[in-house]
Amino acid sequence: MKNFFLFLFLFFSIYANTAYSQLHFIPLQVDHALFRGTDGNVYLETYLAFFQQSLTYRQVNEKYQAHYIAIMEVKKGDSTIARDIKERTSTV
């Protein structure tokens, strides 16, 4: 097996879809899994979870919405080898 050290830095930023940022800490559950493909490559999956009631919602028409962004960076040494940004809106 090749010596390959992977450093995963997960930065998660959540904010309400208002003029004000999320004003409190949101506890996160973060996990990962590695899979070896038939092509010999190793694939990394990351999992992120938090309680929906941790978000700050504002009323939009007859519903309530919160907007959040998840930013994940995978680094090897000082180099960023992968970066992914997901934006989502939660509506209740």
Domain that holds residue 63: 7-19+28-91
In-domain check, residue 2: no
CB atoms within 10 A of CB 91: 9
Flag whether 52 is in a domain.
yes
> What's the pLDDT at 24?
64
Q: 66 exposed, middle or buried (CB, 10 Å; 0-12, 13-18, 19+)?
A: buried
- What is the rounded CA–CA span in Å between residue 28 and residue 14? 11
Domains contained in the chain, number: 1
Give domain status of residue 48, yes or no. yes
Predicted local distance difference test score (pLDDT) of residue 36:
95
Asked, for residue 35, whether it belongs to a domain, the answer is: yes
pTM greater than 0.85: no
| Dihedral angle, C-alpha 54, 58, 61, 63, nearest 10 ° | 10
CB 21 within 8 A of CB 13: no
pLDDT block averages, 10 residues each, the chain of length 92: 35 37 72 93 89 87 90 88 90 90
Domain assignment present for 81: yes
Predicted local confidence at residue 53, as pLDDT: 82
